Structure 1
Amino acid sequence: MVTTLDKNIEKNLNLIYSNMALNDNFITRNIKLKGNISCSILYINGLVNQQYIENSILYPLLFKIDEELLVDNNLPRYLAEKYIPSYSIKITKDVISITNSLKRGKCVILVDNSDNCLICNTTGGTHRAVTESNVERHVRGDKESFVENLEMNIAIIQQKLRNSHFKIEKFILGKESENDVVLMYIDNLIDPNILGNIKNKLNSINAKYLPDTGYITQYIEGHKFSFFPQTKTTEKPDKAISDMLQGKAVVMVNGSPQVIVLPAVFIEFFQAFEDYSNRLFIGNVIRILRVISSFIVIFLGPMYLVLLEYNAELIPISLIKIIINSRLGIPLNPFLELIFMEFFIELLREGGLRLPTPIGQTLSIIGGIILGDAATKSGIVSPTTLVVVALSVIASFLIPNYEMSLSIRFLRFPMLILAKLFGFFGIIIGAFFILVHLTSIDSFGIPYFTPIAPLRITGFKDLFIKMPINSFNKMTNLFKFPNNKEH
């Protein structure tokens, strides 16, 4: 297969056409330069800035050339240097590079009797403006969020991170879709082993289509059947920059407003960017509340079930009387009550996500109120069970990371089953297996439960309680391979 240009413009056009999908929006503009030299301008309409092509490429070539051009292999370079005021021009003869550039909104200029062509950056089209994220909202700090345009997302990062060690590497992934994927990191902070691991995982992806970061995450995570996410996603540039300064890498995908941050350890999913903007005491109280809320989500329902079915003697007399009175006439046992309510709460949440934002919020709130009221009045569910489920739902809202919130929410169901089968012993078994799993997995070579297991004293400065910010050591210490760690 021919992969380089010829000196005959017709052969070159046919070669490019054979490697492109010739749809109606593929434009070939044939013109004559002074000296009767044939020239062709190629681009895909809708991906380019049409006005820029007309003003900065077509107009100079047609009306600004005031000399008889000579047939020469270096004529494209001469035109680029003297007549085309494009801010970014590349000279190449590689057909693959030409077709890839056309697909990405660039313009190609072919000149007869030359095996070189010009690639001008004319990227245009429409994209969403930079706005505040609907998913990650900050009370304090930057309000900007990423958009679906890769070049704009890179520019947002470069505008805020003026570091001479900041590196950007581009990949083309997806055999059919050829998605642009970018890996960003700070080369003097990231561990070379982690960086090599990430690159190998990206290069090993063998997929037809990668439209979103979620697809890439599923390909590169090491423990695919784990409940817990081993990468973070964010729409906030300030979060991505903060993580890179801790020795992590960021992966961007063209067409996705979310970026992947990796590696990620368990405790990070309970830390919010605002923690570092708040005063020390306030930030620590909120962080402790998040950790407590995760225990409430996982263990409150199972504990309630165990106390009712196995160890009712542990409940104070005054409280047990209230619970017994509330359960009179209830046809379902506590286990079925909890499963029933948890199931319908998840239905409401999922339904609320799929509807437009105002309607979805209304459905979640009003639907929950109506469902709870109807369930208690009809005698299907006791009021105490409803309170337990409501507390678990409210506690789940405190977990700042959506993916970790999902994981912890769904851990309730196996824990309820274990509590039903084995009582308190079942809860202990479940907690033991969760702990063993957390300490046995890793994220790109970094132990997932660090700095607790293995023990890293330096990491305790920013664990469940945050120390004064001026006492922090370099957080990159946590994201080194074991033989590179500083204790």
Structure 2
Amino acid sequence: MQTLTTDIRANLKIILSEIGTQSPVAVKEFIIGKTRFLNAALIYNNGMVSKDMLNRDVLNPLMIQLSEDLNLNINIPEYLSRKYISLCNTVVRNNLEEAISGIKTGKAVLIIDKISSFILIDAAEGNYRSISEPVNEPVIRGPREGFIENINTNIGILRRRIKSKYLTVEKFIIGRHTQTELALVYLKDIVDDDVLNEIRERIRVIDIDGAAGIGAIEQYIEKHPYSPFPQTFGTERADKIQANLMEGRVAIILDNVPFVITAPAIFEEFFQAVEDYNERSIVSSITRLLRMLNIFIVITMPAIYLTFVKYNSELFPINSVVPLVLSRKGILLSPFLEILAMEIVVEVLREGGLRLPGKVGQVLSVVGGLIIGDAAIRAKFASPTTLLILGITVVATFVIPNYDMAIAIRVLRFPILILSEMMGMFGIALGWYFIIVHICSLESFGVPYFSINKPGDFKDLFIRTQFWKMNKRPESIPNKDPVRQSDFRYKWLKGRKENNEKGRN
């Protein structure tokens, strides 16, 4: 650990050389004391600190209000910090690395001649987006609070939601050049130590020039990089992260990114929405089952249609065969090429809509789809039945609440379509076999990705039972404290029943 010297000029030279001569670092040199003057310097990064705060709470008290000679035998930085500097967040340090890191993150450093310690002053200021409703994850009934691009604000949001003393934050610096802050957030009394150590170790060994985003961090730490399925759960909603922390997961927050990921992740959680826990259980269960059904529709429906048209048209009811044959009369492309071409067009429209501004993108997706669909039918490139099947498939993808999982499922329908072209219904069955085997072989930080052999998890798996029946945390996520609530409702009902019986007697 390198410390400062007692020579202010040497200290300034060291700090400025470490930060870089091209950086917008400002140095305000001044003197303090009544008759025995001491040279001092305030070092800060232009554009990252509040100059009003520094002028009012640091420079004005030290340069104008200080009217005494300072005794070198006392701890002068500590004395000034307590008596003259009125900012609430000031600490005295002597580690050179802390001084450099503080200046880079928007803090000011006050160094004094003949003293090897310094005052680290938190006067950071920046223009950040205010907390607002997540754009990509709106809800009908639930909180409307989302993360922003400031890591400290995001941690503060979680601290406001979880006031437990066990809420723990560990910080790392990622990137040799960007030096981006990354935080692990977890509940120390719930999280499993093995899972936490695994995540911590994978993050600790990251050695890169710069952190491009939370998606890059996710790919650096995952075990199965070639799998289409996401192995961490990403969201911009604070209530989802709160719920995941309460189940024993670890949140990973990266500065300058409004998305937070949690690990370990399991397959089922990607189909659970906020509304599931704000509606009655029967409504939530039906909706969740509908989402599960849509997995099959998105992956398999175009392939089944292709199989029926090419191999097994006899499976259609006789009244449906004639309209189907007539709808394909004069079509230039084979059924496989027809479906594949229209699938590619749909994906192009979807990507184009995402890249354009919000309202323009929506218009492009709707109008473009109508125009291209009508033109394809008129030009005999596609049949109306094919466009109907693809339309149902596209709408079904919107039911999946997690964007990362929706992309993975959309990708899987292409290999299934190719297998159905080659082997018919057997190809579809073979494709599903490989998908299920692959999902069952995945793990997220030592936790099985797909596990349906935990009886306790069935209360919040394909359906959601009553809240008062979910007394334990999910068994599929390792944790130290499996009980999250007592049987208070049973006790209350039992006591009420006993009181009623006493009243009758």
Shorter-chain TM range is: over 0.9
Give, in whole Å, the separation in 1 of the partners of 2:32 and 2:411. Answer: 67
Read off the aligned partner of 1:173 and give its amino acid letter.
Answer: I
2:212 and 2:73 map into 1 onto residues whose CA distance is 43
* Structure 2 residue 298 is matched with structure 1 residue 300: no
1:444: how far off?
0.7
Equivalent residue for 2:381?
380
Instruction: Quote the Cα distance in structure 2 between the aligned partners of 1:477 and 1:419.
Output: 37
Q: Which residue of 2 aligns with 1:143?
A: 144
**2:225 aligned partner, one-letter code:** K
SS in 2 for 1:60: helix
Aligned to 1:26: 25
Q: Does 1:286 align with 2:271?
A: no
> What is the rounded CA distance, in whole Å, between the counterparts of 1:401 and 1:138 in structure 2?
13
Instruction: Establish whether residue 479 from structure 1 lines up as the match of residue 477 from structure 2.
Output: yes
Higher alpha-carbon deviation: 116-125 or 62-71: 62-71
Moved more, 60-69 or 100-109: 60-69
Equivalents in 1 of 2:283, 2:236: separation in Å? 25
Is the Cα–Cα contact under 8 Å of residues 280 and 467 in structure 1 kept in the other structure?
yes
Whichever residue aligns with residue 74 of structure 1, its letter is N
Q: Please tell me whether the aligned partners of residues 457 and 474 of structure 2 are also in contact (alpha carbons under 8 angstroms).
A: no
CA distance in 2, matches of 1:383, 1:216: 44
Q: What is the one-letter code of the residue matched to 2:25?
A: F
Map 1:32-431; keep pairs closer than 5 Å. Answer: 32-34=31-33, 35-72=36-73, 74-431=75-432
Deviation (angstroms), 1:89 = 1.3
Distance between the aligned counterparts of 2:320 and 2:207, measured in 1? 59
Deviations 1:289-335 (A, max 9, x none): 11111110000011001111111110111111111010000011110
Question: 2:446 aligned with 1:445, yes or no?
Answer: yes
Identity of aligned residues (%): 37
Assess, with a 3 A threshold, how the Cα gap between structure 1 residues 121 and 476 changes in structure 2: closer, same or farther: farther
* Mapped partners of 1:20, 1:301: distance in 2: 58
Q: How big is the shift at 1:478?
A: 2.2
Contact 1:348 1:363 in 2 (8 A): yes
Q: What is the Cα deviation at residue 377 of structure 1?
A: 1.4
Distance in 2 (alpha carbons) for counterparts of 1:72 and 1:458: 66
- Cα distance, 1:280 vs structure 2: 1.4
Task: Report the 3-state secondary structure (helix = DSSP H, G, I; strand = E; otherwise coil) of the residue aligned with 1:19.
Answer: helix
The equivalent residue for 2:6 is 7
8 Å Cα contact 1:235/1:257 also seen in 2 = yes
Structure 1 residues 43 and 484 mapped into 2: Cα distance closer, same or farther (>3 Å)?
closer
Q: 1:116 to 1:73 in 2, by over 3 A?
A: farther
Alpha-carbon contact 2:190-2:481 (below 8 Å) kept:
no
The one-letter amino acid paired with 1:396 is: T
1:105 partner amino acid: G
Q: Which one is further off, 291-300 or 65-74?
A: 65-74
Quote how far apart the aligned CAs of 1:255 are: 0.2
Please tell me the residue identity of whatever aligns with 2:280.
R
Are the equivalent residues in 1 in contact too, given 2:448–2:476 (CA < 8 A)?
A: no
Q: How many residue pairs are counted as aligned between the two chains?
A: 481
What are the Cα deviations for residues 241-261 of structure 1, in whole angstroms up to 9, with x where unaligned?
Answer: 010000001000000000011
Q: Specify the SS of the correspondent of 2:19.
A: coil
Partner Cα separation in structure 2 for residue 181 and residue 114 of structure 1: 33
Cα 1:181–1:230 change in 2 (3 A) is same
Mapped to 1, the partners of 2:449 and 2:129 lie a distance apart of 36
Deviation, 1:42, is: 0.3
- Residue 72 of structure 1: how far off its partner (Å): 4.2
Over residues 453-486 of structure 1, what are the superposed CA-to-partner deviations in whole Å (9 max), with x where a residue is unaligned?
Answer: xx100010101111111101322532118x9999
Cα drift, residue 186 of structure 1: 0.2
Q: Please give the alpha-carbon distance, in whole angstroms, between the structure 2 residues aligned to 1:73 and 1:10.
A: 22
Question: How much has 1:70 moved relative to structure 2?
Answer: 2.6
- Paired with 1:87 and 1:477, the residues of 2 have a C-alpha distance of 44
Distance, in Å, in 1 between the alignment partners of 2:240 and 2:482 is: 24
Give distance in 2, aligned partners of 1:55 and 1:345: 59
Residue 456 (structure 2) aligned to one of 443, 455, 458: 458
Instruction: Look up the equivalent residue of 2:315 and give its one-letter code.
Output: L
Q: TM-score, normalised by structure 1?
A: 0.97
One-letter code of the match for 2:9? E
Rounded to whole Å, the distance in 2 between the matches of 1:419 and 1:105 is: 58
Query: What secondary structure is seen at the aligned counterpart in 2 of 1:158?
Result: helix
SS of structure 2 residue aligned to 1:108: strand
Residue identity in the other structure for 1:435:
I
Counterpart in 2 of 1:433? Answer: 434
Paired residues of 2:473 and 2:482 also in contact (CA < 8 A): no
TM-score where L is the length of structure 2: 0.93
Deviation of 1:175 after TM superposition, in Å, equals 1.5
- Confirm or deny: 8 A CA contact 1:211 1:255 kept in the other structure: no
**Unpaired runs of at least 5, structure 1:** none
Paired letter, 1:5: L
Q: Matches of 2:145 and 2:457 in 1, distance apart?
A: 29
Q: Which runs of 4+ in 1 moved over 4 A?
A: 483-486
Q: State the 1:73 CA deviation.
A: 6.4
Q: Per-residue CA shift, 1:224-279, capped at 9, x if unaligned?
A: 00010010111011110010000001000000000011111001111102101011
